[in-house]
Amino acid sequence: MSPDQMDDAIVNLKKERFNLRFQRATGQLENTARLREARRDIARIKTIAAQQRAKTK
């Protein structure tokens, strides 16, 4: 995964997480575990990006 693809994935996951938070607040969210999954997916991508940056230095 290229750095640009990772940035795009992070942006999309942050948007999804934002929408999930609103759904939870309004009582429309059925799969509450998806909030945790989105948060962890963001962390995974950021970790991989940091490892790749450290590897290239």
- Total-model pTM: 0.88
Q: Which residue has the tokens 């309004």?
A: 26
What is the pLDDT at residue 3? Answer: 87
> Around Cβ 13, how many Cβ atoms within 10 Å?
19
Q: Which structure tokens are listed for 31? A: 């799969």
CATH of 3-56, one of 1.10.287, 3.40.1130, 2.30.29, 3.40.395: 1.10.287
What is the pLDDT at residue 57? Answer: 78
Q: Are 24 and 38 in contact (CB under 8 A)?
A: no
pLDDT tens digits for range 7-49: 999 999 999 999 999 999 999 999 999 999 999 999 999 999 9
